Structure formats: structure tokens, C-alpha cells
Structure 1
Amino acid sequence: MGKTLSGKVVVVTGGSRGLGREMVLAFAAAGADVVIASRKIEACAALAAEVRDQTGQRALAAQCNVGDWAQCGALVEAAYEEFGRVDVLVNNAGMSLLYPSLDQVSEAMFDKVIATNLKGTFRLSALIGARMAAAGGGSIINISSVEAVQPEPMAVPYAAAKAAVESLTVGLARTYGPAVRVNTIRCGPFDTDIAKSWPPQVREFMAGHTVLGRIGDPGDIVGAALFLASEASAFCTGSTLAIDGGFQ
């Protein structure tokens, strides 16, 4: 892998595991220094140590619940204090909650899903996007889901939040362009920690709904992430790139 991100600083939320972890490792291998943010600082610190050992790149572990306005601000300040710049922001933190029926979704559950998936993405993008624009450039990558366009009954609040994220991408691109590019990766089913709790029939259902006949390996997101983070996508903004195995 070439050093396509040499000298760059990348912030990844939800960065300590799953897709976030794969992107962090790929960005560092491509020459970037990384900020690894999640609610579990121990996991972030462990991955930061791994990055330093494997790549020699600088890595900052940062505890942040992206659904909290103040914690988003603190994450931004920590990143700029440590590195003086942010070139790429990956809004990867997300979550969905199980519920027996829609009428039993509590206000607290709904608010938590919206806060983690949408509120944090908005706030971090607004804060960092403004600084990127003032500095003359940057790339924001929002992580969405096929649920945004094919919502399942088991994930309606999550699907609504991800649909809003895709709309937000276009609005941010228009707000912070031409200096800052903002794009979405729309993910299909991936074999992450969440998938490990799926019953066998759910895994079979998900795989059966992809043209490629399988769910994604976490590393399958790396190519798209590197493309959108680098100058390879210099003429790409306000776009959604589906990495979903042809989910249908």
C-alpha cells in the first residue's frame, strides 16, 4: 500500500473496533496520523499502541460519546491540540437498538439512536468542516447503511437517522465546498461484532440478499475509505458510494 495519506491527520469515530478499526489501520498504513475516538478509552488506547508499533505513525486515543454536544467539542479540541490540523474526518460511530415493536420504542431509546448516528455526525462535521474550509481543504466521510434506503421493521429509527446522514452529506458538501469534500459510504451487512450476535438465519438472510452471496468482511470497506480520504477522489463530493455486495 502506498503512502497516499502521508502527512495527513485522520479522525475516526467508533474507531476502536469493527469497520472503524479496519479504517484506522489502513489510514495509518497509508502514512496518516490518526485520532481514534470511541466511548471506551481502553480499546482506543490499545489500538493506538498497535498503530504506533506496526506503522510508526502517531496515534491519539480519545474518549468521546458523539451523541454529547460537549464531548464532540472536546474531541475536536484534543485533535487540534495534538496535531494542529485535521485533514480527514470519518463519522463512523453508530448504533441501533432492538425493540419488540415500534410503539414500544421509548423516547430515551429514540433519542439515543438519533444522537449517536445523526447528532454527532452533524456536530463534528460542523466544527471540523469549518476549520478545514478555513485551512483550504479536507475530506469528510460519513458512514451510512442500506437501511437508509431499504429500512427494515427491526431498525426504523436507525434507518431514519442514516437517511438523514445521507441528506446531511449533500448539505455539508454545499456548505463547505469547494475546499472540503463530503461523501457517504453506504454499507451493507458486515461481519463485525454486531453480526456475531445474529442468529444463523439472519446471517443467511443478509448474505442471500447480496448479489455477491456473502456479507462483507470488515476489510472490504478499506478501499472505499482510502479512495474518499485521498486525492484519488478529488472530483467527488456530495456522493454516496455503496459498499454493500449488491444488496437488494
Structure 2
Amino acid sequence: MTSLEEAVAAARATDRPLLGRTALVTGGSRGLGREIAIAFAAAGADVAVASRKKDACEALAEELAAATGQRVTAHAAHVGDWGRLEPLLDEVEDALGPLDVLVNNAGIAPTYPSLAEVSEELFDKVFAVNVKGPFRLMAAAGRRMAARGGGVVLNISSMGSLRPTAGDLPYTAAKSALNTLTAGFAQEYGPSVRVNTILAGPFATDISKAWDPAVVERMARDWPSRRVGEPGEIVGAALYLCGPHATYTTGALLAVDGGRLAAP
């Protein structure tokens, strides 16, 4: 049983729950990834920001390092490129030290006219970024973490993986596969490495600019929240799952979706 002193010390530590940790956030230059990278640096972590556009990563890294005093590095990487991912981990660890936290946030959800018109190229691209890349990163990073005695992986999935529609089926199928990977990797690298997933609902990110506002408003009437989420509202769940109070949480799917899964 935890002593009173230990409980108080643990509670006070939540001011900077990731102090001394090193985190890699893919797709970290914008959207949900950007908010997670900012929150992690503010929580005391050194952060590697990775995306296909290094200039965007560099801009965020410079600003975030200045604001938090943490080390923040920028890395160009297409997570759908299998051969790029182990070198990416090497780059991050050369710059910041051993990796403690991996956030698989990078994802794509291209639109298409109909399911019959989905091309093989589109399908393969969606699965490469949303499934193949995270699989390889979890395998490579998880092995390193386990050998060093511990670490955390956080995957960003979608509530659509449990409620797919015809308009986003390749994407939601890929995210469903990511949910399955979460369970498998939690078993493979446990107990020292925890692997969890956030099922993200609709958020007001760059992707949402392509949505029809009238359709979203009509759909949101049935959600308990009655609205889409703001990007910063992903932060609490990410900090919890990667922080010191989630040590008994692994293989979990946590919905952060404004109640969308609870809607009729």
C-alpha cells in the first residue's frame, strides 16, 4: 500500500509529469500532434517532432524550446517509408538520449468519390501511414525500450474505427488495425512497456477544413458534447496515458470524442 507521503509526492509530481523523459511525436508539426508536443515539453519532456515537412518541424521546435527551456528537435520523416523509421529512432536518440515515449500520431484520411473508385494507390498509402509505419515504429522502439527497462507508446486512432462509414472506410479500417496492434504490442513488450490508444473524435484541425459545416452541425446535435473538439482537448488524455498515474493501464482504448461513441 502507498504511504501518505508517497501519495502526496506523486500528486505533486503531476505538475511536470514527464520531467526527464524523451518523447517522439510523429505528425507533430500540426493538429493534434502539435498540441501533444507542446504539452509534453511543458510537462518536462525533451521532444522530437517529426513530419514530412522538416521546415514546419523546425519552426515549432525553435519556438517550443524557447518557451519551455526543453530540448526540442526537428526530424523529416515519412512514416509510410519502412526503411526510414529505424534511422529516425537513431537520430532522435543521438540528439536527445534514449527514447521513453513514442506517440504514433501521423495519419492521413484522403477523400474519394465512392468506394468503387478507391484506387489501389490510395488504399496502400492510407495503410502505409496509418498502420505500417506505426507497426514498424512500435516494433523497433518497443524493443529498445524493453531492453532498457521500460517506456510508453501512445497511438492516436479514431472513434471511426468502431463506427465506420462508407465515406472514410480505408482510413477507419486502418485505424481499426491500429487498435489491434495496440493489444498485440502491449502483450509483446509488457510489463515494462505500456501501449495504449486514444480513439479521437472529430477535432477542429486542418483536416476538418474539408468537412461540410452543415453536415457536422447536424451530426453534432446527437453527440453529448454537441460540438467538435478543440485540438488542445486531446492533451489531458495523452498526458495521463504517458505519465506516472497510468502505470496499470496498457492495451487500452480511451475515447476522447465528445461522447460520439455514446450517441445513437
1:33 maps to which residue? 46
Tell me the CA shift for residue 206 of structure 1: 4.1
1:15 to 13, 18, 28: 28
What is the RMSD computed on CA atoms of the aligned residues?
A: 1.0
Once the two structures are TM-superposed, the CA of residue 22 in structure 1 deviates from its matched residue by 0.4
Q: TM-score, normalised by structure 2?
A: 0.92
- Cα deviation for residue 36 of structure 1 reads 0.1
For residue 75 of structure 1, report the CA deviation from its aligned partner. Answer: 1.0
User: What is aligned with 2:108?
Assistant: 95
Task: Tell me, in whole angstroms, the C-alpha distance in 2 between the residues paired with 1:10 and 1:246.
Answer: 29
- What is the number of residues matched between the two proteins? 248
Q: Is the 8 A contact 1:210 1:244 kept in 2?
A: no
Distance across 1 between alignment mates of 2:91 and 2:236:
28
Confirm or deny that 1:2 pairs with 2:15: yes
1:228 paired with 2:251, answer no
In the alignment, structure 1 residue 66 sits paired with structure 2 residue 79: yes
Equivalent residues of 1:211, 1:246 under 8 A apart: yes
| Aligned-partner Cα distance in 1 for 2:143–2:95 | 18
Contact 2:104 2:155 in 1 (8 A): yes
2:201 maps to which residue?
188
Q: CA deviation at 1:207?
A: 2.3
Aligned residue type for 2:195: V
For the 8 Å contact 1:206–1:215, the answer to whether it is kept is no
**Pick from 24, 29, 50: which aligns with 2:37?**
24
Letter in 2 for 1:226: L
Pick the aligned partner of 1:81 from 94, 99, 115.
Answer: 94
Secondary structure in structure 2 of the residue aligned to 1:7: coil
Residues 114-153 of structure 1 mapped to structure 2, 5 A cutoff: 114-153=127-166
Give the unaligned 5+ runs of structure 1: none
Q: Deviations over 1:53-89 (max 9, x none)?
A: 1001001100000000011122111111112211110
TM-superposed CA distance for 1:176, in Å, is 0.2
Alpha-carbon distance in structure 2 between the residues aligned to 1:206 and 1:3: 37
Kindly indicate whether the alpha-carbon contact (under 8 Å) linking 2:71 and 2:96 is maintained by their aligned counterparts in 1. Answer: no
Are residue 161 (structure 1) and residue 174 (structure 2) matched?
A: yes
Q: Which aligned segments of 4 or more residues in structure 1 are displaced greater than 4 angstroms? A: none
CA distance in 2, matches of 1:40, 1:198: 24
- Answer yes or no: is the 8 Å Cα contact 2:81–2:133 preserved in 1: yes
User: Of the two, which has the highest radius of gyration?
Assistant: 2
1:135-177 per-residue CA deviation (whole Å, 9 max, x = no partner) reads: 0010000010011010011110101100000010000000000
**2:57 counterpart of 1:44:** yes
2:138 maps to a residue whose letter is S
Q: Deviations over 1:112-152 (max 9, x none)?
A: 00001000110001000000000001000001001101001
Q: Does 1:246 align with 2:259?
A: yes
Report the Cα distance in structure 1 between the residues aligned to 2:74 and 2:142, rounded to whole angstroms: 21
User: Which range moved further: 194-203 or 89-98?
Assistant: 194-203
Q: Corresponding residue for 2:125?
A: 112
Counterpart in 1 of 2:191? 178
Q: Calculate percent identity across the aligned residue pairs.
A: 54
Conserved 8 A contact 1:189-1:206: no
Determine helix, strand or coil for the equivalent of 1:72. Answer: helix
TM-score, with normalisation over the residues of structure 1? Answer: 0.98
On the 8 A contact 2:22/2:97 being kept in 1, the answer is no
Q: What displacement does 1:205 show?
A: 3.4
Three-state SS of the structure 1 residue aligned to 2:103 is strand
Does 40-49 or 193-202 show the bigger shift?
193-202
